[in-house]
């Protein structure tokens, strides 16, 4: 790959992907595709260069203008704004000098160097020593602790990359690398965070929302669509199923305390059907353990009876506080706390905390759950 001395580009590192041995080309191609989708509309050129991707911003794009979006692409560990030098000491020094001279000049700096091409006639220590002198010459103190800025030099066969600006990426795996999952999405705080975790581990979410309206269109106009919109910032183009709850409600109202657990069982069965239809292997929910009365061990066990698709609960060990912090960070919190006509809230106030498996089986049969599920599904609408 050709590099021009002095050119500014973005170096994208993919971290964990390197653990994937034989599959790593597949992962990297997926990551490239996801970056292109994420940055759609911006001008740039993206190419792979050994263990990194080189992103060259085009006309009207810059590190600043795209870093917010790039920071949402799962599979990126770090990305940096780098200046290219030749892989020679002289060129590295003169480039570093120019970078460090720019105002505002730091008072202190840490200098790191890494060489991925070992046949060069100088070592990383040579680079650091030379640049320490350069810094001192400019009145900047080289330090390894309590420094103001950091200058990293990465030397490859074709070029040296000098970096003063680095952003942490979203981590995880490229969305799509783990297949698809049906995500049970309520309008609440937890399930959007669960969806984010699912995407972080490479799953394409297919959203399923059960609503308490008469018409799907009413639900589609509501806040759940806004939450899906925010989540689409991490991966675009997810499908969303909107399914009314009234068929279920009509058949289940006489079960009082059990109704909430039955409602969950109903949702999981819907999810399993949709999963089969969409070629998804997993179901994801925003449940955690013991957070509310309905989320006890025995209820979690009862609600998934008869469902064979694996159910992932990425929030299982998180406290509410921790979930809220993530919801705020990913931008779903504000919509999640808005008032909503939630199906769960119109159900029993004092849900059963211990549900016997046999009792559950009996109640599901009484409701005629299979019919309720297929009828509800036939009333669904699919967006996206
Ligand atoms: P959340 O904040 O995600 O609504 P919660 O704390 O309110 O969760 P529950 O009401 O017990 O807890 O819901 C647990 C999980 O069940 C949700 O995280 C979500 O995955 C699923 N779920 C609840 N309500 C709905 C719904 N109306 N449509 C689809 N899935 C739902
Ligand atoms: Mg809820």
- Closest ligand to the CA of 207: 1
Considering the domain boundaries, does residue 34 fall inside one?
Answer: yes
Query: Which ligand number lies closest to the CA of residue 185?
Result: 1
pLDDT in tens, 126-177: 999 999 999 999 999 999 999 999 999 999 999 999 999 999 999 999 999 9
Return the pLDDT at 51.
86
For residue 259, what are the domain limits? 180-383
Looking at ligand 1, which atom is closest to the CA of residue 187? 4
Q: Which residues contact 332 (CB under 8 A, 6 or more apart)?
A: 189, 192, 193, 196, 227, 230, 231
Write the residue with the smallest CA distance to atom 26 of ligand 1: 186
Residue 384 has pLDDT above 90, yes or no: no
Indicate which residue's Cα is closest to atom 10 of ligand 1.
344
Can you say whether the dihedral through the CA atoms of 250, 243, 359, 261 is positive or negative? Answer: negative
Ligand 1 centroid vs 189 CA: distance in angstroms?
A: 9
Q: Tell me the average pLDDT across 286-315.
A: 93
pLDDT at 45: 97
For residues 59-81, give the mean pLDDT.
95
| CATH number, residue 309 | 3.40.50.620
Do 359 and 252 fall within a single domain?
yes
Same domain, 256 and 209: yes
Cα 291 from Cα 320, distance rounded (Å): 8
Shared-domain flag, residues 238 and 164: no
Nearest ligand to the CA atom of 380: 1
User: 252: how many CB neighbours lie within 10 A of its CB?
Assistant: 24
Are 151 and 214 within one domain?
Answer: no
Please say if the pLDDT value at position 23 is more than 90: no
Does residue 1 sit within a domain? no
- For ligand 1, residues with CB inside 6 Å are 184-186, 188-191, 208-210, 267, 285-287, 291-292, 294-295, 343-344
Where a domain ends, among 145, 168, 191? 168
> Average pLDDT of 236-256?
93
Q: Which atom of ligand 1 is nearest to the CA of 211?
A: 27
Does residue 174 sit within a domain? no
Å from CA of 186 to ligand 1 middle: 5
Looking only at the bridges linking them, the beta strands covering 282-284 and 311-312 are parallel
Q: Are strands 311-312 and 44-49 parallel, antiparallel or unpaired?
A: unpaired
Same domain (yes/no): 157, 287: no
Extract the tokens encoding 199.
Answer: 């995407």
Best of 183, 186, 249, 339 for a ligand 1 pocket test (most atoms within 8 Å of beta carbon): 186
Q: Which of 183, 184, 292 to mutate to test the pocket of ligand 1 (most atoms within 8 A of CB)?
A: 184
pLDDT for residue 345 is more than 80: no
Q: Note the pLDDT of residue 18.
A: 63
* pLDDT at residue 293, as a whole number: 78
126 lies in the same domain as 192:
no
The protein residue whose alpha carbon is closest to atom 12 in ligand 1 is 287
* Whether residue 147 is found in the same domain as residue 285: no
46-68 pLDDT, tens digit each = 999 988 999 999 999 999 999 99
Q: CA-to-CA distance for 214 and 217, rounded, in angstroms?
A: 9
The atom number, within ligand 1, closest to the CA of 264 reads 16
- Please indicate, yes or no, if residue 101 is contained in any of the structural domains: yes
Q: Which atom of ligand 1 is nearest to the CA of 342?
A: 27
Q: What CATH number is associated with residue 37?
A: 3.30.2130.30
Task: Give residue 348's pLDDT band: very low, low, confident or very high (50, 70, 90).
Answer: low
Classify residue 83: in a domain, yes or no. Answer: yes
Task: Provide the mean pLDDT of the chain.
Answer: 94
Q: Is the pLDDT of residue 179 over 90?
A: yes
Same domain? 193 vs 135: no
What local confidence, expressed as pLDDT, does residue 294 receive? 81
| pLDDT of 249 over the 70 cut | yes
Q: What is the pLDDT of residues 94-115, one digit of tens each?
A: 999 999 999 999 999 999 999 9
Same domain, 259 and 220: yes
Given a cut of 90, is residue 79 above it in pLDDT? Answer: yes
Is the same domain home to 149 and 14? yes
pLDDT band at 266 (very low <50, low <70, confident <90, very high): very high
Q: How far apart are CA 5 and CA 42, in angstroms?
A: 24
Three-state SS for 357?
A: helix
Is 236 a residue whose pLDDT tops 60?
A: yes
**Which band of pLDDT confidence, cut at 50, 70 and 90, is reported for residue 351?**
confident
Q: Which one of the ligands is nearest to 261 CA?
A: 1
The pLDDT value given to residue 256: 83
How much is the pTM? 0.95
């Amino acid at each position: 790959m050709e590099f021009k001395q002095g050119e500014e580009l973005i170096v994208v590192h993919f971290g964990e992907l390197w653990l994937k041995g034989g599959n790593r080309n597949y992962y990297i191609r997926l990551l490239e595709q996801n970056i292109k989708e994420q940055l759609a509309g911006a001008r740039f050129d993206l190419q792979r260069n050994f263990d990194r991707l080189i992103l060259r911003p085009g006309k009207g794009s810059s590190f600043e203008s795209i870093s917010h979006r790039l920071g949402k692409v799962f599979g990126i560990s770090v990305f940096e704004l780098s200046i290219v030098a030749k892989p020679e000491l002289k060129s590295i020094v003169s480039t570093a000098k120019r970078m460090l001279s720019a105002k505002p000049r730091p008072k202190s700096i840490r200098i790191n160097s890494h060489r991925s091409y070992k046949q060069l006639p100088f070592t990383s220590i040579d680079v650091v020593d030379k640049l320490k002198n350069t810094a001192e010459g400019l009145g900047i103190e080289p330090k390894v602790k309590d420094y103001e800025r950091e200058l990293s030099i990465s030397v490859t066969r074709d070029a040296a990359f000098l970096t003063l600006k680095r952003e942490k990426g979203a981590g995880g795996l490229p969305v799509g690398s783990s297949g698809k999952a049906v995500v049970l999405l309520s309008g609440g705080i937890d399930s959007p965070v669960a969806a984010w975790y699912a995407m972080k581990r490479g799953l394409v979410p297919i959203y399923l929302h059960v609503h308490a309206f008469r018409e799907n269109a009413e639900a589609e106009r509501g806040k759940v669509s806004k939450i899906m919109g925010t989540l689409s910032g991490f991966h675009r183009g997810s499908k969303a199923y909107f399914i009314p709850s009234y068929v279920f409600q009509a058949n289940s109202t006489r079960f009082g305390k059990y109704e909430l657990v039955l409602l969950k069982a109903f949702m999981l069965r819907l999810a399993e059907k949709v999963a089969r239809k969409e070629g998804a292997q997993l179901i994801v929910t925003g449940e955690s353990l013991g957070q509310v009365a309905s989320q006890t061990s025995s209820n979690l066990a009862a609600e998934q009876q008869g469902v064979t698709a694996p159910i992932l609960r990425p929030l299982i060990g998180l406290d509410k506080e921790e979930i809220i912090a993530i919801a705020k960070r990913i931008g779903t919190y504000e919509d999640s706390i808005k008032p909503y006509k939630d199906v769960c809230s119109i159900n029993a106030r004092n849900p059963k905390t211990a549900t016997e498996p046999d009792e559950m089986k009996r109640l599901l049969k009484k409701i005629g759950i299979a019919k309720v599920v297929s009828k509800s599904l036939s009333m669904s609408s699919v967006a996206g």
